[in-house]
A = this chain, B = another copy of it.
Amino acid sequence: MAIQDEMRQVAEGAREASRTLSRMPTEIKDRALKEMAERLLQQAGWLMQENEKDVAFAKNLGLSPAMIDRLTLKESTIRDMADGILEVASLPDPVGKVTSMWRRPNGLLVGRMRIPLGVIGIIYESRPNVTADAAALCLKSGNAVILRGGSEAIHSNIAIGRLLKDVLKETSLPEAAIQVVETTDREAVYELLQLEEYIDLIIPRGGEDLIRAVVRQSRIPVIKHYKGVCHVFVDADADLEMAAKICLNAKIQRPGVCNAMETLLVHREAAPRFLPELARKLRESHVVIRGCEETCALISDAEQATEADWYREYLDLVLSIRVVGGIEEAMDHIARYGSLHTESIVTNDYANAQRFLNEVNSSTVLVNASTRFSDGFQLGLGAEIGISTTKLHAYGPMGLEELTTTKFIVYGNGQVRT
Contacts and interface: CB of A to CB of B under 8 A. Distances in A.
A186 interface: no
B200 A415 contact: no
Given A110-B379, A390-B221, A391-B200, A407 B396 contact: yes
Interface residues of A, number: 67
B200 A361 contact: no
A249 interface: yes
A409 interface: yes
A231 interface: no
A408 B367 contact: no
Nearest to A417: B372
A190 interface: no
Nearest to A221: B392
A361 B407 contact: yes
A229 to B, nearest CB: 15
A46 interface: no
B417 A395 contact: no
A170 interface: no
Nearest to A103: B380
Contact of A408 (B108, B118, B379, B406): B379
Interface string A379-418: 1100000000011110111000000011111111111110
A96 interface: yes
Task: Give the interface centre of A335, A391, A395, A409 by most chain B CB atoms within 10 Å.
Answer: A391
Contacts of A110: 379-380
A249 B415 CA distance: 10
A9 interface: no
A360 B11 CA distance: 21
A112 to B, nearest CB: 9
Nearest to A362: B407
Contact of A367 (B335, B380, B412): B412
Interface string A219-245: 101010000000000000001001001
A115 B363 CA distance: 10
A353 B156 CA distance: 46
Contacts of A201: 391-392
A253 interface: yes
B373 A108 contact: yes
Given A373-B417, A391-B200, A416-B246, A407 B221 contact: no
A365 B407 contact: yes
B200 A335 contact: no
Interface in A334-370: 335, 357-359, 361-370
B369 A414 contact: yes
A415 B23 CA distance: 41
A218 to B, nearest CB: 10
A87 B184 CA distance: 56
A417 B221 CA distance: 33
Contacts of A364: 407-410
A362 B19 CA distance: 12
Contact of A23 (B108, B250, B358, B410): B358
9 contacts: A19-B335, A108-B369, A115-B361, A201-B391, A249-B417, A357-B411, A361-B407, A369-B416, A392-B405
